[in-house]
Structures are given as C-alpha cells and as structure tokens.
C-alpha cells in the first residue's frame, strides 16, 4: 500500500467513491466542498507521507488539526488503501497500526482501536486489519490486532474483539460472526463494482 499526497487521479477516484456510496451526493462540487470524511482522508494522505518520511511531529500536528476541523482522527501511521470512504465522518478514530484495504467504508462513530497493554514496544501491531470491501456500521468498535475478512459487514454499535473470516456479518456486544447471506453479500459487492 503506497500512500501519497492526492493526485488529480486520486481526487477524482475519491469523489467518484463518495458519489457511489452516498445517494444524497448531488454533485462532485458538493462532495469536494462539503464532505468532512473525504477531507479527512485527503489530509491523512499528506500526514502519512510526512510520517513515512520521518517527520513524525509535523504528521501528528496535521492529524490533530484535521481532527479539530472534521471530527475524524486518523493516525498518520495507519495504512489505508484506495477508494476508502467515511460517511458522515464525525467521531471516527483510526489507530496507528490499523490496516485498511481497498473499497472499505466506515460510518460515523467507528473506532478501530487497540486493546494491548499501555507499555508495548514501538511498532507492535495493536489495531485491527480490515480487508478489502469491509463495511462498518455507525458506532461499531473493532478492537485489537484482529483481522476482519474481505467483504464482511460489521453491524451498528457492534463490539468486535475477535477475527472473522471473509464474507462475515458481525453483530452484537460482544460481536459474533455468521456468514453473510448471498443477497447481502451481492448487494455489498455491487456497491463497489462501479470502478471495474
């Protein structure tokens, strides 16, 4: 996963992703100007570039400024793939060692957090990995170094502390995993097929 400062192609792809996910999006201009989740993603890419270049303090300052402006906190050390979308934005927290694949969507209030002891060695993986195509409902908490398999869906307000295979539906507190129905899985895949 190579992160970079947004190029024109990346900006267009992100705008198209937002419009594909949100039926309320009326124009690219509206999305460009008014979608805080998208602004947070673009700023993350800049902060991540700084982080990888060893400019850790400036990267953290960018991420904290963006948190203040958008209500979305993405640690610059996180690794995020293409066509990532945060709907409504507010209250999203993504930890330092989180890994997010391509075509992932989060709703507001989602936490990708750690549950390791406070004094862990630097570089220890403490946050979850979301594989390609995962959708996470509003208020869900995914905690610890676990893996949510590709094209899975996490229900609103679920608390997930264990890994789940691909094509899982995770609901409850603590969340339990069950296979997605064919109809639900097909609908989820259809949302992401716009770019093929």
Find, among 152, 40, 155, the residue nearest to 92 by Cα: 40
pLDDT, residue 99, reads: 97
- Angstrom distance (rounded) from CA 48 to CA 142: 22
Q: What burial class does residue 125 get, using C-beta atoms within 10 Å of its C-beta: 0-12 exposed, 13-18 middle, 19+ buried?
A: middle
pLDDT, residue 160, reads: 96
pLDDT, residue 195, reads: 35
Query: Where does residue 153 fall: left (phi above 0), alpha (psi -120 to 50 degrees), or beta otherwise?
Result: beta
Q: Find out whether 177 and 151 touch, Cβ atoms under 8 Å.
A: no
DSSP H helices, the chain, are: 8-21, 28-34, 36-52, 56-70, 182-192
pLDDT, residue 96, reads: 92
Find, among 94, 96, 98, 102, the residue nearest to 70 by Cα: 94
Greatest C-alpha distance within the chain:
47
Q: What is the pTM of this model?
A: 0.83
Query: Could you tell me the end-to-end alpha-carbon distance of the chain, in angstroms, rounded to an integer?
Result: 19
pLDDT, residue 187, reads: 53
pLDDT, residue 28, reads: 76
Domains detected in the chain: 8-195 (2.160.10.10)
pLDDT, residue 186, reads: 55
pLDDT, residue 185, reads: 54
Q: Across the 196 residues of the chain, what is the mean pLDDT of every consecutive 10-residue run?
A: 60 79 75 83 93 94 94 94 89 95 94 81 87 95 96 95 95 89 56 39
What is residue 99's three-state secondary structure?
Answer: strand
pLDDT, residue 103, reads: 93
- Angstrom distance (rounded) from CA 19 to CA 15: 6
């Amino acid at each position: 996963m190579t992160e970079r400062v947004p190029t024109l192609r990346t900006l267009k792809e992100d705008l198209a992703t937002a419009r594909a996910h949100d039926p309320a999006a009326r124009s690219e201009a509206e999305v460009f100007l008014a979608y805080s989740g998208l602004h947070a993603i673009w700023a993350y890419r800049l902060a991540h570039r700084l982080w990888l270049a060893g400019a850790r303090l400036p990267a953290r300052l960018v991420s904290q400024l963006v948190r203040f402006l958008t209500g979305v906190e993405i640690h610059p050390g996180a690794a995020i793939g293409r066509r990532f979308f945060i709907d409504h934005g507010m209250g999203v927290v993504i930890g330092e060692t989180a890994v997010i694949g391509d075509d992932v969507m989060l709703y507001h209030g989602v936490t990708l957090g750690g549950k390791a002891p406070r004094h862990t060695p630097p570089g220890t993986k403490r946050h979850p990995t979301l594989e390609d195509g995962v959708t996470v409902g509003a208020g869900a908490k995914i905690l610890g170094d676990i893996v949510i398999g590709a094209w899975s869906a996490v229900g609103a307000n679920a608390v997930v502390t264990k890994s789940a295979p691909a094509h899982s539906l995770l609901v409850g507190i603590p969340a339990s995993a069950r296979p997605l129905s064919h109809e639900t899985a097909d609908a989820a895949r259809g949302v992401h097929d716009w770019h093929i």
